[in-house]
Chains A and B, each alone.
Chain A
Amino acid sequence: MSAPRVIGFTLNGVPVTALAEPHHNLIELLQTQFGLTGARESCGQGLCGCCTVLVNGLAVSGCLYLASFVDGATVATIEGFDGAGKLSAEQEAFIETGAFQCGYCTSGFIVMTAQLLDEHPEPTDDQIKHYLSGNLCRCAAYPEIIAAVKLAAQKRKARGAAFATTSRA
């Protein structure tokens, strides 16, 4: 039988349960059961990055990730980035740099940037391009995006340890 089953995970810092259909992907789960639409399916093939979500701190393509796979995991979406009403360093940096036009891809870029800065707090241009090569911006705001990532790195540093306590950990 392809019966749905109850799974439990931590979503943006809050323990939750959900009824997961075996054939649903993570994006379907987040949208239909939690009303979270920041991560969205665009290309549907893991190429564009619009569906980027952090699972246990690592970015995944939510559209290629079975919903059941987050059972027991820690999941962070863009909606959890502004913990306690304050925008994350990445969000502030993208806004201040104007690193978007239409904004459709922006949440994916910001979530992807989070893993990049977790692993490379002071990224080089090459590291930025490498981590973001799987995110597409059809408005081609790439120069501004690279600048935004660098600014986000500075902002993270300035915020210091306080930043590490966001709901993404």
Chain B
Amino acid sequence: MIPFELAEPTSLAAAVKLLDPDDETVRPIAGGTALMLMMKAGVFRPAKLVSLRKIERQYAAIAAGADGLTIGAMTTLGTLERSAEVRKLAPLITRTCLTLSNVRVRNVATVGGAMAHGDPHMDLPPVLMALGASVTVAGPDGERTLAVEDLFSGYYETVLAKNELIASVKIPAQGSKRAAYMKVTTGSVDDWPALGVAVVLDGEGDTITSARIVASAATEKATRLTLAEAEMNGQHVDETLLQRAGDAAADEAELVADVRGSVPYKRELMRVYVGRAVAAAWRGAGLNND
């Protein structure tokens, strides 16, 4: 890697001040696992990195309450994976962590980094989006909160200003909702996905009362599939419905070709896996399904 300056502020406020809204060569670094890949490849050549590793410990804490979970942005994915609170209140996240990269990366990579990087191949964005999560963002003028759904603006792009930092992620209580996340890897099992599908359903008896379906990896950013969702609401779950949901998803998704698959191939994956993910979520009995 080429030489750069490394700042190590000891507070979130100081970190925000060190960032420059107009300078793309100044960036925050948390765990660094994703950023290091970009720097080693020469895709990103920083003049200055602002390390967040020494900011207040509260930003690496997980708090559970009746209204849900608040997860500090500096929480590592490994801590998330091992958290009893997360397992209890949002077991989909625990399950997702188990197939997210490998143990070493999860020991270092952070929740905030996984969001702020804007990489459509990552697993947490679609999952958090489907769970209805929001992020609290700190900037020079204070904090603002936005839905994870509104965070991503394009391929590796977010709506965050260059001097804004994600402080925490809030996941609302899931009540009786059921959830599943499926990803398709076309290279090796541990490859980046060609498609990710996160589904969160609520239902009464054998009828779906609400559905959130999010696709990632095959799309330029994690994206809600609203037509497929509409197809599910108020419906009984059967093979025909699963097929209709898959067809709706395949029709509405704007897909991107890459080394992991062409657009027509990913369209077929979408058709099949949306149905499978809905079925997997529905099969489970509430939050602790697997």
Contacts and interface: CB of A to CB of B under 8 A. Distances in A.
A167 to B, nearest CB: 19
B103 A131 contact: yes
Interface string A61-75: 101111011000000
A133 B99 CA distance: 10
Interface string A131-155: 1011000000000000000000000
Interface stretch (A11-19, A40-48, A79-87, A99-107): A40-48
A36 interface: no
Nearest to A135: B102
A59 interface: yes
A1 interface: yes
A129 to B, nearest CB: 10
Contact of A134 (B2, B98, B102): B102
Interface stretch (B33-41, B170-178, B195-203, B239-247): B33-41
B37 A45 contact: yes
Interface residues of A, number: 29
B3 A65 contact: no
B3 A49 contact: no
B103 A134 contact: yes
A22 interface: yes
B53 A69 contact: yes
Interface stretch (B63-71, B104-112, B159-167): B104-112
Nearest to A72: B54
B104 A112 contact: yes
A64 B101 contact: no
Nearest to A53: B104
A113 to B, nearest CB: 11
A50 to B, nearest CB: 11
A46 B49 contact: no
Interface in B50-84: 51, 53, 78
B107 A66 contact: no
Most B CB within 10 A of own CB, among A1, A46, A47 = A46
Interface string B8-37: 100000000000000000000100110011
A60 B4 contact: no
Contacts of B3: 2, 21-23
A64 B4 contact: no
A61 B104 contact: yes
A1 B4 CA distance: 7
A23 B107 contact: no
B1 interface: yes
Interface in B100-152: 101-105, 107-108
A156 B2 CA distance: 43
B102 A2 contact: no
A25 interface: yes
Contact of B108 (A1, A21, A60, A115): A60
Given A22-B5, A52-B104, A64 B36 contact: yes
Interface of A: 1-2, 21-25, 44-47, 49, 52, 58-61, 63-66, 68-69, 112, 115, 130-131, 133-134
18 contacts: A1-B5, A2-B6, A22-B3, A22-B4, A23-B4, A45-B37, A46-B102, A58-B78, A59-B107, A64-B36, A64-B37, A66-B29, A69-B32, A112-B104, A115-B103, A133-B102, A134-B101, A134-B102
